[in-house]
């Protein structure tokens, strides 16, 4: 069972929102403070609170045409088994699939932009929500929009569920507290001696929170951890190294060949995906034994706080087996983005190099997104971070209390006036 905790201010000074109200919350003291407010002042404060709350829960603008997501919320079409099978391909033997996290955090994506060697479709795990909130769902108060679907209309998209459970031990990977963890794991039978799994990391941590912030959040310790393990061994590394892939290790200044920016300073980029930046399709590789089961576990979480979403994409039929490890991994614009050989369990199509390329791979050279329409009204923020439904509800409660207090104050005033007139 998920648990909610009050989160402290992160080490980078980023205020943390969305936690439960503490015992010393302002709501408990409102009746006392309202006695000191005039009716007009109370009405004004209530109007301001209601305005903030209503803007926070306003329906999001339209997403980019052709893009779509599903989640485990739709249990009739999406399950842990179907997601694992989608990754491994129809001919692979997949068993023991399981997940951990909120249902909206895990599912599928389709129609993402093919910028360079990006992953355009597949399975996604996010620290936020893959889907937009349902206005009729009482549970959808912890996120304001999809963490994936374009356009990039905000630099600080956040789904903050307050979840501190850590089944994949990502706190050890990041060296700090983690929140909103999402995990998918399954077994697949090996057909060759080397397994390859293509993935990509996209994140909102690739931008600062306010206009006056000179550095990105990822450079200030908010390196949302990603872990991909094969038989318990980590393999989500920058190609040719033992450096774990995260927003702090793959960005505009570190391993930039594998990175595509979707932000300029504090202005969202025109690539129609919500990420402020993302990696190319990177290969996780590991030696395995043909004929034996291989246990795969993919996990991602927020580091230091539950703010600003990060998402790992797993390419459709992007898992395969080969006797020839990939030595020329894809970069943002070049390299090999396929699985050599024919034992990958997928039914891909031939590319220009004569090898099989599973679906879900972006096409190089698609970089003109001038036609992508940004959202006209950026999300409202509190202290540089998005106002989620949890904060909106709090403001709504405050507004109602203020209105009630104003009414009481006005009634008492009128009674006093009536009493003075009768005297």
**Per-chain mean pLDDT for the chain:** 77
pLDDT at position 74 is 94
* Alpha carbon distance 301, 309 (integer Å): 9
User: Do 38 and 161 belong together in one domain?
Assistant: no
Tens of pLDDT, residue by residue over 352-399, are 344 445 567 775 554 545 444 444 344 444 345 555 555 555 555 555
Max mean pLDDT range (79-88, 211-220, 328-337)? 79-88
Mean pLDDT of 254-270: 90
Domain boundary (341, 357, 373) is at: 357
**What is the share, in percent, of the chain residues with pLDDT greater than 90?**
50
Asked if residue 164 and residue 49 are part of one domain, the reply reads no
- 220 and 113 in a single domain? The answer is yes
Lowest-confidence pick of 8-12, 214-218, 401-405: 8-12
Residues 123 and 48 in one domain: no
- For residues 32 and 119, state if they share a domain: no
d(CA 275, CA 271): 9
Which is more confidently placed, 326 or 2? 326
Please give the Cα distance from 382 to 156 (Å, whole number): 11
Quick one: average pLDDT of 223-244? 95
Shared-domain flag, residues 41 and 73: no
Nearest to residue 178, comparing CAs of 168, 188, 187?
Answer: 168
Could you tell me the residue range of the domain that residue 402 belongs to?
27-55+381-422
Which are the contacts of 46, defined by CB distance < 8 A and separation ≥ 6?
A: 399, 400, 402, 403, 406
pLDDT band at 131 (very low <50, low <70, confident <90, very high): very high
The answer to whether the predicted template modeling score (pTM) of the entire model surpasses 0.85 is: no
Q: Is the pLDDT of residue 64 over 80?
A: yes
| More reliable by pLDDT, 219 or 222 | 222
**Do 181 and 45 sit in the same domain of this protein?**
no
Residue with the larger pLDDT of the pair 241 and 33: 241
Residues 263 and 305 in one domain: yes
Residue 62 has pLDDT above 50, yes or no: yes
Task: Report d(CA 263, CA 277) in Å as an integer.
Answer: 7
């Amino acid at each position: 069972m998920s648990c909610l905790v009050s989160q402290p201010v992160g080490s980078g000074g980023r205020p943390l929102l969305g936690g439960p109200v503490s015992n010393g919350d302002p709501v408990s003291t409102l009746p006392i403070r309202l006695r000191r407010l005039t009716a007009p002042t109370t009405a004004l404060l209530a109007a301001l609170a209601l305005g903030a709350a209503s803007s926070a829960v306003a329906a999001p603008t339209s997403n980019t045409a052709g893009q779509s997501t599903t989640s485990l919320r739709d249990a009739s079409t999406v399950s842990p088994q179907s997601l694992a099978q989608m990754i491994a391909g129809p001919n692979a033997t997949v068993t023991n699939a399981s997940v951990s996290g909120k249902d909206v955090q895990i599912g599928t994506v389709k129609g993402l932009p093919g910028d360079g060697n990006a992953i355009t479709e597949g399975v996604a795990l996010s620290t936020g929500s893959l889907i937009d909130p349902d206005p009729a769902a009482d549970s959808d108060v912890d996120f304001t929009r999809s963490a994936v679907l374009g356009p990039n209309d905000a630099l600080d998209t956040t789904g903050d569920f307050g979840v501190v459970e850590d089944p994949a031990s990502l706190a050890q990977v990041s060296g700090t507290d983690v929140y909103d963890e999402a995990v998918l794991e399954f077994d697949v039978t090996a057909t060759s001696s080397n397994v390859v799994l293509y993935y990509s990391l996209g994140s909102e941590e690739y931008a600062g929170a306010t206009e006056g912030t000179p550095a990105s959040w990822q450079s200030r310790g908010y390196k949302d951890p990603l872990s991909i393990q094969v038989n318990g061994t980590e393999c989500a590394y920058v190609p040719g190294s033992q450096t774990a892939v995260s927003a702090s290790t793959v960005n505009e200044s570190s391993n930039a060949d594998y990175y595509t920016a979707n932000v300029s300073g504090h202005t969202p980029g025109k690539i129609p995906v919500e990420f402020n930046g993302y990696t190319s399709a990177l290969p996780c590789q590991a030696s395995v034994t043909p004929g034996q089961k291989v246990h795969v576990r993919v996990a991602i979480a927020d580091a230091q706080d539950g703010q600003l979403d990060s998402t790992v994409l797993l390419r459709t039929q992007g898992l395969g087996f080969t006797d020839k490890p990939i030595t020329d991994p894809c970069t943002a614009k070049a390299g090999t983005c396929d699985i050599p050989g024919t034992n990958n369990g997928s039914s891909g199509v031939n590319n220009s190099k004569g090898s099989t390329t599973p679906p879900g791979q972006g096409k190089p050279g698609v970089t003109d997104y001038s036609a992508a329409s940004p959202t006209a009204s950026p999300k409202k923020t509190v202290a540089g971070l998005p106002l989620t439904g949890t904060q909106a509800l709090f403001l709504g409660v405050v507004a109602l209390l203020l209105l009630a207090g104003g009414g009481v104050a006005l009634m008492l005033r009128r009674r006093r006036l009536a009493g003075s007139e009768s005297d």
